[in-house]
Amino acid sequence: MQFKSMVISNVEVSPNYFRMRMTAPQELSSSVPGQFVMLKVNDAIDPLLRRPFGLFDVGSFVPEYAGCGAQVYCEILYKVVGKGTKLLSTLHHGDLVDLLVPLGKGFQMGPAGEEKVLVGGGVGLAPLYYLAKQLKERGEKVRLFAGGRNRDDVLCITEFERLGVETYVATDDGTLGERGFVTQVLERHLASGMRIFACGPTPMLNAVAKMSEKHGVPCQVSMEAYMACGVGACLGCVMKGANHSDETPDYRCVCKDGPVFDSFELQWS
């Protein structure tokens, strides 16, 4: 659905990374982690298109107005990378944005009893937090493997820990956690009876998908793509499905078929 949302807060949580909380329609309280929103930053024609953001959190709050009942909010976690996100970072409490919510297919949490392993890099941690929250509410054992180039890229770890998630961190330069790729840390801990949920840069997802196959651990990945419509009409955000070849093309629409896919559905390099 389309919704005019009010910014509640917009805070820089790490250099160039922002966490924005917005009012949300009631319907969003039944959204699935991994689903996303399309946000129109302003009414101008530059930037023209909406921007997609995974849901970082959905919850309820009681506004400070007399007689107000609980209302739903949603949060996104974003990195300032271009014109759209730069503008977004200048918004304040009370500003309005136009949202399409909730879009796409989210994570399937799988049966209880398995260990749930979350693997995220940079802003890829965003949908994993909402997922961790729901998994912990179900009483599941959850571990998080978080990576980034340096400590500034490793976001909101305290929030995960507050949920009771065991966390492992790796950075390329060793400024936080282990030095190296998060996938190296992950591989040491992988065992059967686990289920992986991953979101982050494509090379990381590529490594996780291969590792999951090697160890026979089911794996879902949340993909990122340039999008125009977000509703499956423009076909601008497709990626190659597992059986893709030049002779028999197999494209999957990230906004509609995803953004969460079973890793075996996609073609990895």
Partner 1 sequence: MQRPDMSVVLAGITMRNPVMTASGTFGYGAEFADYLDLESIGAMVTKGLSLKPKAGNPTPRIVETPGGMLNAIGLQNVGIDTFIEQKLPYLKDVNTPVIANLYGNTLEEYGEVASRLDGLAGVAGIEVNISCPNVKQGGIVFGTDPGAAKEVVSLVKRNTSKPLIVKLSPNVTDVVLMAKACADAGADALSLINTLTGMAIDLERRRPVLANVTGGLSGPAIKPVALRMVWQVAKAVKLPLIGIGGIMNGRDALEFMLAGATAVQVGTASFLDPSAAQRIAQEMEQYLVDNGIDSVRSLIGALEV
Q: Which of 51, 105, 95, 68 is nearest to 256 (CA)?
A: 105
Q: Is 80 in the site for partner 1 (CB under 8 A)?
A: no
- Of the candidate residues 81, 235, 243, 264, the single one contacting partner 1 (CB under 8 A): 235
Residue 112, interface with partner 1 (CB under 8 A)?
A: no
CB distance 25 to 12 below 8 Å: no
Report in angstroms the alpha-carbon separations of 51 from 41, 164, 182, 225.
8, 32, 27, 10
Asked whether the beta carbons of 34 and 260 are under 8 A apart, the reply is: yes
Contacts of 15 (CB under 8 A, 6+ apart): 152
* Cα–Cα distance for residue pair 187/211, rounded to 1 Å: 7
Candidates 136, 218, 232, 268: give the one binding partner 1 (CB under 8 A).
Answer: 232
The nearest distance, CB 27 to partner 1, in angstroms, is 11
- Least CB distance from residue 259 to partner 1, whole Å? 14
Q: Does 87 bind partner 1 (CB under 8 A)?
A: no
Measured CA to CA, the distance from residue 258 to residue 213 in angstroms comes to 20
46 binds partner 1 (CB under 8 A): yes
State the nearest-atom distance from the C-beta of 3 to partner 1, in Å: 11
Minimal distance in Å, beta carbon 45 to partner 1? 5
Counting Cα atoms < 13 Å in the Cβ hemisphere of 111 gives 5
Look at the alpha carbons of 84, 89, 90, 96 in this order and tell me if their dihedral is positive or negative. positive
1 binds partner 1 (CB under 8 A): yes
Question: Which residues, numbered 190-209, are part of the site for partner 1 (CB under 8 A)?
Answer: none
Is 252 near partner 1 (CB under 8 A)?
Answer: no
For partner 1, the binding residue among 30, 48, 67, 216 (CB under 8 A) is: 48
Q: Of the candidates 151, 236, 242, 265, which one interacts with partner 1 according to CB under 8 A?
A: 236
Cα–Cα distance, 25 to 8 (Å, whole number) = 14
Position 26 contacts partner 1 (CB under 8 A): no
Question: Which lies closer to partner 1 via its Cβ, residue 15 or residue 249?
Answer: 249
| For partner 1, the closer CB: 82 or 174 | 82
Regarding 250 and contact with partner 1 (CB under 8 A), the answer is: yes
- H-type helices in 89-124, by residue range? none
Radius of gyration of the chain (CA): 18
Separation between Cα atoms, residue 200 and residue 209, nearest integer Å: 12
Instruction: Find the helix packing angle between 202-215 and 182-189, rounded to 10°.
Output: 20
Can you tell me the distance from the alpha carbon of 207 to that of 170, in angstroms, rounded to the nearest whole number? 15
Q: Which region, judged by CB under 8 A, interacts with partner 1, from 112-120, 165-173, 176-184, 231-239?
A: 231-239
Nearer to partner 1, 91 or 118 (CB): 91
Q: State in angstroms the smallest separation of the CB of 225 from partner 1.
A: 8
| Number of residues located near partner 1, criterion CB under 8 A | 29
Amino acid at 132: A
Residues found near partner 1 in the complex (CB under 8 A): 1-2, 40, 45-50, 98, 100, 225-229, 231-239, 249-251, 256
